[in-house]
Amino acid sequence: MALEKPQDNQLQFLIIPLMSPGHYIPTIDMAKLLAQHGVKVTIVTTPVNALRFGSILDQAVQSGLPICFLEFPLPSTEFGLPEGCESLDDLPNLGLAKELFLAQSSLQQQVEQYIENSEPKPSCILSGTFLQWPAETAKKFQIPRIIFDGMNCFTQMINHVLYLTKVYESVGESESFVLPGLPDRIELTRSQLSFAFNSSGSKEVKEFHEKVRVSESEAYGVIINSFQELEQGYSDEYQKIKEDKVWCVGPLSLCHKDVSEKALRGNKPSINKNECLKWLDSKDNASVIYACLGSISRMEPDQLVELALALESSNRPFIWVVRAGHKTPKIEKWIEEDGFEERTRDRGLLIRGWAPQLLVLSHPAIGGFLTHCGWNSTLEGVCAGVPMVTWPQFQEQFYNEKLVVQVLRIGVSVGAQSVVHWGEEEKSGVQIKSEELRKAIEMVMEEGKEGEERRKRAKELGKMAHKAVEEGGSSHQNMRRLIEDIRNQSSTRNSS
């Protein structure tokens, strides 16, 4: 899109993302879109994250967009974290998430000092739900705060119903129940609920989520990385609850148009983009299954072995992203000793670390996406028009699976039954056997009537996603509506 010229009273947005790739990546996408609409954007960050995500930001700045990082050192070791640990995916154990949140909250005073010295003051603060201190800062300076994190309207409505009805309290862990008042009949079990509602969660976790709930209810509004046409009934209902202060402005990932932008999005890829594209170019259209289970998944090596065996027994070309981490040596040892990589060399590509996911998914060779159902990945699959194999792990991922499999009907579940609690991954063991995984892969990739209809629906949704962000599309209009709303708020404050 053409850049809009900044007005004399240029709006300034301050974004405070949760320190996790799943939050930083859409934050930078959002900053880019806001800047294209003439808004000046400042993103609060730390040295490691600035280095990690700086390349895509630098590219945006070089194109003339008014975006910058506001960098503060993070006192990791003071909060019991390893030196340089500044992101959820860097934690040796996800049970340390609380310490990371506390470390980030220590930046509050420095952020407030920045606002104090700024002239003019920021017009708006965007922050994630799990960060509560930005709410205090926004109140102190009388700046509107808008929630911006990784959930869709479908998930927001499920959370709303769960809080309102407490319907889950009268059932056992594995007993299914219907969520009342939703546009579709959605059934869940208690063991599939996010940590806020799951009885396995600690009292401390539940108290934290209650504070999050209160903080969210006090926010000026909510920005959603989705588009209205994808979840029409749910976005309409959520709008009513939030009194029209909901803006569906996604898919944000579609702000990246060319190959180099797609390759740079997120962390530095662990594979050269040309090497990756060459491999994909050698495969038939819609023949490759792409398996990636997210940036903070801590799946046990024995479970990863089952995934590897499923990919092998599928007899289909595949790309498997093996996440770097403290368990990597165990799975690497198996890969080497078992001979898996050698046996599958002609049709399998292993990417160790970070994959250029947008680049991969947008290639015509991809026929299916095996995903953990994190919302960023799920929406990227929708944009690519690719059907999905769903394997949720925790938080709202089981809700996203329901949206993909049941509402949109573009996915097949592997049959996961319960969330894996952070810090307790080793207790989970092998939950899904290779044969179950292979069957789900086969159903998504099959050429029968059911598979063909699933692919057709996925492609139609992909086209709708692209139309939503074009000039005049629903998300493009919502972005303008958001900016106009904040401009009116800013004018009112300045005149009072």
What confidence score (pLDDT) does residue 83 get?
92
CA 111, 114, 117 angle in degrees (round to 5)? 150
CATH of 267-465, one of 3.40.640.10, 3.40.50.720, 1.10.1040.10, 3.40.50.2000: 3.40.50.2000
Do 267-465 and 12-254+469-495 have the same topology in CATH?
Answer: yes
- The confidence score (pLDDT) of residue 299 equals 79
Give pLDDT, residue 53: 87
Which is nearest to 296 in space by CA: 324, 268, 320, 319? 324
Question: pTM for this one?
Answer: 0.92
Contact, 247 vs 482, CB < 8 A? yes
Q: How confident is the model at residue 478 (pLDDT cuts 50, 70, 90)?
A: very high
CB 395 within 8 A of CB 375: no
Q: Each residue of 273-314: pLDDT tens digit?
A: 889 999 999 999 999 999 999 866 667 888 899 999 999 999
Per residue in 68-103, pLDDT (tens digit) is 999 999 999 999 999 999 998 888 877 788 899 899
Cα–Cα distance between 151 and 154 in angstroms, integer? 8
Secondary structure (DSSP) of 305-325: HHHHHHHHHTTS-EEEEE--S
Q: Which superfamily is assigned to 12-254+469-495 in CATH?
A: Glycogen Phosphorylase B; (3.40.50.2000)
User: Tokens 């129940």 identify what position?
Assistant: 177
Find, among 55, 62, 16, the residue nearest to 35 by Cα. 62
Among 39, 62, 209, 237, residue whose Cα is nearest residue 126: 39
Query: Domain map of the chain by residue range?
Result: 12-254+469-495, 267-465
- 381-396 pLDDT tens trace: 999 999 999 999 988 9
The pLDDT, as a whole number, for residue 9 is 72
Q: pLDDT band for 421, please (50, 70, 90 cuts).
A: low
